[in-house]
Structure 1
Amino acid sequence: MQHYDMWIDGKWHAPESKATFPSLDPYTGKDWATFAKGDFRDADAAVRSADRAFREGDWPAMTATQRGRVLYRLADMLEAHAEELADLEVADNGKLKAEMLVQMKYLPEWFRYYGGMCDKIEGRVTPIDKPGIFHQVVYEPYGVVVAIAPWNSPLLLATWKVAPALAAGNTVVVKPSEFSSASTLRFAEICHEAGLPPGVLNVVTGYGEEVGGALVEHPLTSRVAFTGSDVGGRAVALTAIKDFKPVSLELGGKSANIVFEDANLDDAVKGVISGIFAATGQTCMAGSRLLVHDSIHDEFVEKLLVFMQDAKLGDPRNAETNIAPVSTKPQFDKVLSFFEIAKAEGAKCVMGGTRSTRPGCEKGLFIEPTIYVGIDNRMRIAREEVFGPVLSVIRFGNDDEAVEIANDSPYGLAAGVWTRDLERSITLPRRIRAGTVWVNAYRVVSYLAPFGGFKQSGIGRENGAAAIYEYLEEKSIFINPKPGIANPFVLS
């Protein structure tokens, strides 16, 4: 049994309460590690450490170029530890080793990208309309940034916040999910080894109501970045706004994957399967609503069923496994509850709809990949985020109807369009109210591409060049070089 303390001020930190909590391996169904159970006292220690590092430490004294070099060095070290970090994530959240290894090998690119941006943040001098006055605009870091990450891709989604925040010159306190904290703690240790000064990155483990809330409402916290459910995001936003702290929120989705009659159906099948059953459906961008044109509906559903016949559930460390267990017991129970909801609403289950009893899956949190047809977009199974391997298939008759159904959702995170029509490829994505739209592809992300949602899918954007400005304050400076000028600060 592995044990992890918290990481505060550049060293391991035992919880003030001396309490711990276990982490379940979703494949074996057994606890594999224990973590320090933090509370408001540990949250306070972490924020104060980050605040000291911001005001008095080596990080603010570095030039932007020097900060960038530290992030480059960190990227190289993360690359060297990719396999180790992937193994920790598999043990903690049960996702496929193959998928986690791809994520961990890609992770360093965020630090290289934002490391390169450190000394590219330039202010500007404006042609101000006040005679004799010099005016410039500069960008300055907020200070202490609290980053709250989810359990499904803990280190990747923490990195989306940490990399630009550090590049902008902030210090950071990360609150990982209580279900998957191990990789983030090891990441903090690697950051220290790479030369990040003490206090610049801290990790506090524990439960949301005991640690997350304390971090968000702490008077020395300047900004908050959160990824998680819409319920959690609303709580974070309401807490932060009490002190007018800016927030960015990347929340849930009920994304539409739209297949038109002219699509390459074999490619579309693979894209739909990847969009919902990869990561066991536990991704905010999951294509959980499949919209299929009437003329190909039956044929396409049959192709899905045939393709899924050979899907292998089992040990996520096995390269032959296609679908891993659900990551947490509460999420497992939630997915099972939706089967009863769908049945009561009249949805027709054509595949799955049960807990898996396949050999090797008995002790783990396995759910059979599930497909429902006969879905009306007003059903709960089509409107609420299940966050599991559950696909709802909805018919449509024409482009306008497809757009109407896709947009008829409280969420607006992502969507997919499968077509060979060039005009449709160009015009339809502009009509869909979602932050990311893929055409003839699905689940493609990049450190270069902004990611975030419309409507209840969130506020702000992560990734891309603009994301670093989420962690910078814009300041105007007016200089009167000749104090003898009479009344230079008139409004007009």
Structure 2
Amino acid sequence: MEVDKIAFTGSTATGKTILELAAKSNLKSVALELGGKSPMIIMDDADVDQAVELAHFALFFNQGQCCCSGSRTFVHERVYDVFVEKAKARALKRIVGDPFKHGVEQGPQIDEKQFDKILGYIKSGIDSGATLIAGGDRFGSKGYFIQPTVFADVKDGMKIAQNEIFGPVQSILKFSDINEVIRRANATPYGLAAGVFSNNMDAVSTLMRALRVGSVFVNCFNVLDAAIPFGGYKMSGHGRDKGVHSLQNYLQTKAVVTALKNPAWL
């Protein structure tokens, strides 16, 4: 009851519990930075090689254990087939192993529980009809290493397209026009971040305004700075970290009204 403020970064499920307990105690202020299922949108004017590398980084950074990971890769139908082939080749080249060794790009998952959870999602993707084009199993026989995994032909209703996997599993989805991808990108309970890869500034402007997320990365991803506010919409939380907006989480507004001596209106 003596705690006036909680700031939490973690899963949406834990954030819900914290918010519930805060309401049952002293209705303390809570700022939450929670889960995500961020879309990475590749438009039809994309340089495919650059787009593949950016989408690869957006998903596989930190073994996929990143709250704003670009875990739904939406690719325009005009470049979809070539993108899928190049994304497969890039994943197969990714070097997995001891992260303290030079040249290694991907280390182990955080623990056994997360390792098993990710493998469960991979099985779900296979069972639901997505096309496994790379990876799909553990890497080696020791530790919690998972092969860089890529699914093509992913549909919006599949678990791998709906749930936060928090692991090295890329889901590639096809779209045909900008209105369609806006609708599908927003059709999630999360709203932490999004990526847009395009040189068409009209398309970029439309997407960055229409996507219901707290951060939009244009022709980049996971570019963070202490001055840039970071946080989510919907079940990705509320409040902001970083920047001047983060101070609002820790401030109260007070109004003071003082009567003047012999005010004219008395």
- Normalized against structure 1, the TM-score is what? 0.53
* 1:363 Cα deviation from its structure 2 partner: 2.1
1:268 aligns with 2:51: yes
Aligned counterparts of 1:348 and 1:309: Cα–Cα separation in 2: 15
Task: From 198, 210, 213, give the equivalent of 1:431.
Answer: 210
Corresponding residue number in structure 1 for 2:132: 349
Deviations along 1:124-176, one digit per CA (max 9) or x if unpaired, are xxxxxxxxxxxxxxxxxxxxxxxxxxxxxxxxxxxxxxxxxxxxxxxxxxxxx
Task: From 171, 174, 185, give the equivalent of 1:392.
Answer: 171
- Say whether the 8 Å CA contact 2:91–2:150 is kept in structure 1: no
Task: From 227, 239, 245, give the equivalent of 2:21.
Answer: 239
One-letter identity of the residue aligned with 2:62: A
- Tell me which protein shows more strand as a share of its residues: 1
- Say whether the 8 Å CA contact 2:38–2:192 is kept in structure 1: yes
One-letter identity of the residue aligned with 2:85: E
- Say whether the 8 Å CA contact 1:253–1:286 is kept in structure 2: yes
- Say whether the 8 Å CA contact 1:264–1:420 is kept in structure 2: no
Corresponding residue number in structure 1 for 2:116: 333
Corresponding residue number in structure 2 for 1:305: 88
1:296 aligns with 2:75: no
- Say whether the 8 Å CA contact 2:110–2:144 is kept in structure 1: yes
Aligned counterparts of 2:170 and 2:93: Cα–Cα separation in 1: 17
- Say whether the 8 Å CA contact 1:332–1:365 is kept in structure 2: yes
Corresponding residue number in structure 1 for 2:40: 257
1:314 aligns with 2:97: yes
Q: How many residues align?
A: 265
Corresponding residue number in structure 2 for 1:228: 10
* 1:487 Cα deviation from its structure 2 partner: 8.9
SS of 2:207's equivalent in the other structure is helix
1:456 aligns with 2:235: yes
SS of 1:467's equivalent in the other structure is helix
SS of 1:426's equivalent in the other structure is helix
One-letter identity of the residue aligned with 1:367: I
* 1:255 Cα deviation from its structure 2 partner: 0.6
Corresponding residue number in structure 1 for 2:189: 410
Deviations along 1:345-401, one digit per CA (max 9) or x if unpaired, are 1111111110112xxxx3211000111111110111100000000011110001111
Unaligned stretches of 5+ in structure 1? 1-218
* 1:469 Cα deviation from its structure 2 partner: 2.0
SS of 1:292's equivalent in the other structure is strand
- Tell me which protein shows more helix as a share of its residues: 1
Aligned-residue Cα RMSD (Å) equals 1.4
Deviations along 1:290-345, one digit per CA (max 9) or x if unpaired, are 10111111100111122233211111111311011101221111101112211221
* 1:404 Cα deviation from its structure 2 partner: 1.2
Aligned counterparts of 2:35 and 2:195: Cα–Cα separation in 1: 16
- Say whether the 8 Å CA contact 1:256–1:416 is kept in structure 2: yes
| Alignment of structure 1 residues 35-74 onto 2, 5 Å | none
Aligned counterparts of 1:309 and 1:388: Cα–Cα separation in 2: 16
SS of 2:4's equivalent in the other structure is strand
- Say whether the 8 Å CA contact 1:417–1:440 is kept in structure 2: yes
Aligned counterparts of 2:122 and 2:217: Cα–Cα separation in 1: 29
Aligned counterparts of 2:65 and 2:259: Cα–Cα separation in 1: 57
Corresponding residue number in structure 2 for 1:445: 224
Corresponding residue number in structure 1 for 2:145: 366
Aligned counterparts of 2:144 and 2:205: Cα–Cα separation in 1: 41
After TM superposition, where is structure 1 displaced by more than 4 Å over at least 4 residues in a row? 484-488
- Say whether the 8 Å CA contact 2:43–2:76 is kept in structure 1: yes
- Say whether the 8 Å CA contact 1:252–1:457 is kept in structure 2: yes
Aligned counterparts of 1:353 and 1:480: Cα–Cα separation in 2: 72
Aligned counterparts of 2:194 and 2:135: Cα–Cα separation in 1: 24
| Alignment of structure 1 residues 134-153 onto 2, 5 Å | none
One-letter identity of the residue aligned with 1:387: F
- Say whether the 8 Å CA contact 2:92–2:134 is kept in structure 1: no
* 1:271 Cα deviation from its structure 2 partner: 0.8
Aligned counterparts of 1:311 and 1:281: Cα–Cα separation in 2: 13
SS of 1:411's equivalent in the other structure is coil
Unaligned stretches of 5+ in structure 2? none
Task: From 422, 441, 445, give the equivalent of 2:201.
Answer: 422
SS of 1:475's equivalent in the other structure is coil
- Say whether the 8 Å CA contact 1:276–1:287 is kept in structure 2: yes
Aligned counterparts of 2:172 and 2:206: Cα–Cα separation in 1: 23
SS of 1:412's equivalent in the other structure is coil
- Normalized against structure 2, the TM-score is what? 0.96
SS of 2:257's equivalent in the other structure is strand
One-letter identity of the residue aligned with 1:434: V
- Say whether the 8 Å CA contact 1:263–1:418 is kept in structure 2: yes
Higher relative contact order (CA 8 A, sep 6+): 2
